[in-house]
Amino acid sequence: MRQCGDCQLCCKLLPVRSLDKGAGEKCKHQRHHKGCSVYSRLGVVSPECRIWSCRWLTEDDTAELSRPDRSHYVIDIMPDHVTLQNNETGAIEQIQVVQIWVDPGYPDAHRDPALRAFLERRAKDRIIGLVRYDNTSGMGLFPPSLSEGGKWIEYANGVTVKERSIAETLKALGGKLEISIVEK
Q: pLDDT tens digits for 21-70?
A: 888 888 888 777 666 766 655 555 677 777 788 899 888 889 999 999 99
- 163 has pLDDT over 70: no
Residue 120 placed within a domain: yes
Mean pLDDT across 130-154: 90
Sign of CA dihedral 6, 103, 96, 146: negative
Judge whether 49 lies within some domain.
no
Does any domain span residue 154? yes
Q: Which residues of 140-151 are buried (b: 16+ CB within 10 A; e: fewer)?
A: bbbbeebeeeee
**Higher-pLDDT residue of 55, 4:** 55
Distance from CA of residue 54 to its chain's centroid? 9
Residue 6 confidence (pLDDT) above 70: yes
Residue type, 71: S
Total domains present in the chain: 1
DSSP lists the bridge partners of residue 96 as: 81
Question: Closest by alpha carbon to 164, among 138, 146, 142, 141?
Answer: 138
Q: Is residue 178 part of a domain?
A: no
Structural domain contains residue 31: no
Residue 166 lies in a domain: yes
Check residues 80 and 44 and name the one with the higher pLDDT. 80
Whole-prediction pTM value?
A: 0.81
pLDDT at 183: 42
- Which range of residues forms the domain containing residue 157? 54-172
